[in-house]
Amino acid sequence: MTKPRTLGELRADGPEVEKRARRSVKDEMRENVLAKLDGGEPLFPGIVGYDDSVIPQIVNAILSRHNFILLGLRGQAKSRILRALVNFLDREIPVMAGCEINDNPFGPLCRACRLLVGEKGDSTPIAFLARERRLVEKLATPDVTVADILGDIDPIKAARGGLALSDELTIHYGLLPRAHRGIFALNELPDLAPKIQVGLFNIMQEGDIQVKGYPVRLPLDLCLVFTANPEDYTARGKIISPLKDRIGSEIRTHYPVAREEGMTITRQEAWLSRDGAGTVTVPPFVAEIVEEIAFQARQDKKIDKRSGVSQRMPITCLENVVSNAERRARQAGEKKVVPRVGDVYAAMTSLTGKFELEYEGEVHGADQVARELIRRAVGTVFQQYFQKANLDQVVQWFELGGTLKVPAEAPASELLEQFRKIQGLVESTAALGLKATADPADLVPACEFVLEGLHAHRRISRSEERGFYAEERPRPEPSARETPPRSRRPYQ
């Protein structure tokens, strides 16, 4: 079916078309959300862990026709949620062809469009705007000006058209007018200078703006959405109280509540399908350790909780873990890439930049804090798998003087020969669902996990020089009863 190309052709499609075109953006979003709810469609595909908390609050805000703000720490999918809001808009809407502010053909705002409709009538050319282009996103920075947001007078337009500077046709529209009939998303609102925040008052309450003080009312049709770190958590600025008062809903985001939710997000976002890397298989316990590191970091007293620990930490860590395993497999000529616990330690460079340290953490240093996080994560996951397993035989092998150094670059076949010398080690991997005859590429990470878990629970020790070993236990001093009596000289 051919799309209308003029205002007359658009009107010929019936009054229902005009009625839909004249809806406000918030009414349009409300209708589409209700339609998705009626059809049982997912509202925010790809957003995990918010089904019972954040998403219902966002839906309530849209159904209430509110402007809203997402408050949360870094790495909580705030920007992703804002970009997903375009899915609640119509697939396309009619606009005045060539208009800077996407004017409605049935009721244009800007003077140029009004003059064009008055001159050409039903022959006025129109176009259709896809919903993806109806989101205007801006990152708030201290250098943003009122002109960037609202607009300014363009003297070049005035000179070329022979117009007075007070003429409406000389306006250069800012980002806010260009978002007309769409969504205006402002990230990191506290970073916006207070005087710029004041410039948002009118559009949020009265629905209009003024440019350079000229009495030109532009009743823009917008849905305004913002993101910010909680006000008390940022030293860069704050949201001024009158602006907060004009925001309809304040919605707080959060980190994944359960490890499984975090793992789902990490698998979804991490780049694990490597071209030319052979078969990449991430053992479940390695993925759990990587995710558990983030959970441990969010609870650690040495890490600043006000700055948060982003979900990007396990994502980048898992990518680095796979890369280290990929590099080792390529050097060893192996076709199967299977990460090990040692690869998690090798991925520390993806951890240390993801958290801010408190004073105690600064004393220890980021590397030491990261190592401790990994050790605790290994211990937590190990306890989950081996809570009922009897590993005394493995521990006794080390207590009898056995030592084992696990080279980071060693091929799986070589390491498995060493692991088989430790009584009960290979057999203990049955708790992970493996058989003693399994592929060495799968057995070796499991065996290393057992040793790392015993180290995490301090049943054996590990050092860079000696590898895994058992500390020599000090011999108990004889008790008083066991002490032989001192010989006494005969009485003389």
| Spatial CA neighbour of 419 closest among 397, 401, 399 | 397
Q: Cα dist. 186→160, 163, 227 in Å?
A: 34, 34, 7
| Spatial CA neighbour of 419 closest among 321, 473, 340, 327 | 340
pLDDT at residue 357 in the model: 92
pLDDT digits (tens, 9 = 90+) for 36-50: 999 999 999 999 999
200 φψ region: left (φ > 0), alpha (ψ -120 to 50), beta (else): alpha
Q: Which residue has the higher pLDDT, 137 or 195?
A: 137
* DSSP state for residue 354 in the 8-state scheme: G
pLDDT at residue 492 in the model: 40
Average pLDDT over residues 461-485: 71
**How is residue 484 written in tokens?**
């032989």
* CA dihedral sign, ordered 69, 75, 79, 83: negative
pLDDT > 70 in the chain, percent: 93
**How is residue 87 written in tokens?**
């899915």
- 58 has which bridge partners? none
pLDDT digits (tens, 9 = 90+) for 32-81: 999 999 999 999 999 999 999 999 999 999 999 999 999 999 999 999 99
Average pLDDT over residues 147-168: 80
pLDDT at residue 173 in the model: 87
Residue 202 pLDDT level (bands cut at 50, 70, 90): confident
pLDDT at 163 over 80: no
Full set of structural domains in the chain with CATH:
7-252 (3.40.50.300), 259-469 (no CATH)
315 Cβ contact list (under 8 Å, min separation 6): 265, 266, 269, 270
| Spatial CA neighbour of 342 closest among 369, 370, 321 | 321
pLDDT at residue 212 in the model: 72
Buried b (16+ CB within 10 A) or exposed e, 285-310: bbbbbbbbbbbbbbebebbbbebbbb
Name the packing angle between helices 366-386 and 440-456 (round to 10°): 110
pLDDT at 236 over 90: no
pLDDT digits (tens, 9 = 90+) for 85-101: 999 999 999 999 999 99
- This prediction has a pTM of 0.87
pLDDT at 10 over 60: yes
Average pLDDT over residues 370-393: 95
